[in-house]
Amino acid sequence: MWNYSEKVKEHFFNPRNAKVVAQANAVGDVGSLSCGDALRLMLKVDPETEIILDAGFQTFGCGSAIASSSALTELIIGRSLTQAQQVSNQQIADYLDGLPPEKMHCSVMGQEALRAAIAHYRGEAPDEDHEEGALICKCFAVDEAQIRRAVVANGLTTLEEVINYTKAGGGCTSCHEKIELALMQILKDHPPQVARPEQIKDENWLAVEEVVASLRPHIKADGGDMTLVRVEGQQVTVELSGSCSGCMMTDMTLAWLQQKLVERMGRYMLVVTA
């Protein structure tokens, strides 16, 4: 049995904006009744400002699907289409204080419906016209583009995660090999970011941070900037931006910081760029 947050239960039993929006000028349909999950998202967009004035939904699915749809409408009403486009499926899940891993596809369905609605408003071609060979999962009508978006946006790396986030492969399982091949290619094109351990801001870090801070006004006066990234033993990693990025004087700037660090720390320090 899955554990649902109180906020998921609240949005399931008392969904917001579960309605048909009168004069909706942006409509997004995803899923299908035959697949077990379907969502229609309706938006009323101000043509002059592109602000979403109202939003409503009709969902056929589980409690998580209803709650995710409800949360989505609350996240986007009052925002411009450009701002709404930035809403991720993870933000929908976070708004609900989390979803079980097996139900993350409900938040993805909401994001896909929003994407389809905005495309409809702008007169762009719908995604349901799958290119030949692009449809991966026939049971749930999931194509490679949907899998790619979910993998890249959420850092997915396994078949199980793809199933949880897209439902692809959650039916007859005959498409598992296709999913794994697609996943292999996606990860090749978009290698997952390896999470580095969180930087411990000890006395060593604070001392280096103070030296960097003392140099920043001089660097910023020339249109550049320097940000401290990591301190690992005797190695200091900084990021240079603005006019410092690609500047011929970069080596001199790093040498300047290194000299100041040696003076402050009383030992050899190596400075590198991120």
Residue ranges matching CATH 3.90.1010.10 in the chain? 6-189
Q: Bin 135: left if φ > 0, else alpha if -120 < ψ < 50, else beta.
A: beta
What pLDDT is stored for residue 2 in this prediction?
A: 66
Q: Is the pLDDT of residue 30 over 50?
A: yes
Q: Which two tokens stand for residue 184?
A: 């292999």
Q: Is there a binding annotation on residue 35?
A: yes
From 21, 106, 108, 269, active-site residue: 106
From 24, 30, 35, 186, active-site residue: 35
- For 216-247, the pLDDT digits (tens) are 988 888 888 889 988 988 899 998 888 777 77
Q: Is the pLDDT of residue 57 over 80?
A: yes
- For 155-188, the pLDDT digits (tens) are 999 999 999 999 988 888 899 999 999 999 999 9
Instruction: Tell me the mean pLDDT in the region 13-18.
Output: 96
What's the per-residue H, E or C state across the chain? Answer: CCCCCHHHHHHHHCCCCCCCCCCCCEEEEEEEHHHCEEEEEEEEECCCCCEEEEEEEEEECCHHHHHHHHHHHHHHCCCEHHHHHCCCHHHHHHHCCCCCHHHHHHHHHHHHHHHHHHHHHCCCCCCCCCCCCCEEECCCCEEHHHHHHHHHHHCCCCHHHHHHHHCCCCCCCCCHHHHHHHHHHHHHHCCCCCCCCCCCCCHHHHHHHHHHHHHHHHHHHCCEEEEEEEEECCEEEEEEEECCCCCCCHHHHHHHHHHHHHHHHCCCCEEEEC
Q: Which two tokens stand for residue 95?
A: 């708004």
Q: How many CB atoms lie within 10 A of CB 161?
A: 17
Q: Which two tokens stand for residue 245?
A: 């990025």
Q: Is there a binding annotation on residue 175?
A: yes
Q: How many CB atoms lie within 10 A of CB 215?
A: 16
Q: Is there a binding annotation on residue 244?
A: no
Could you tell me whether strands 26-32 and 235-242 are parallel, antiparallel, or unpaired per DSSP bridges? Answer: unpaired
Total-model pTM: 0.67
Q: Is there a binding annotation on residue 139?
A: yes
As a CATH number, domain 203-273 is: 3.30.300.130
Q: Is there a binding annotation on residue 247?
A: no
Q: Which two tokens stand for residue 212?
A: 């960097």
Q: What percent of the chain has pLDDT over 90?
A: 60
Alpha-carbon distance of 22 to 25, in angstroms, equals: 9
CATH architecture of 6-189: Alpha-Beta Complex (3.90)
**Residue 190 CA, distance from chain mean position:** 14
Alpha-carbon distance of 61 to 175, in angstroms, equals: 23
Q: Is the pLDDT of residue 133 over 60?
A: no
Residue ranges matching CATH 3.30.300.130 in the chain? 203-273
Q: How far is CA 30 from CA 24, 37, 156, 247, in A?
A: 17, 8, 21, 49
Q: State yes or no: is 247 an active-site residue.
A: no
- For 34-49, the pLDDT digits (tens) are 667 889 999 999 999 9
Instruction: Tell me the mean pLDDT in the region 7-33.
Output: 93
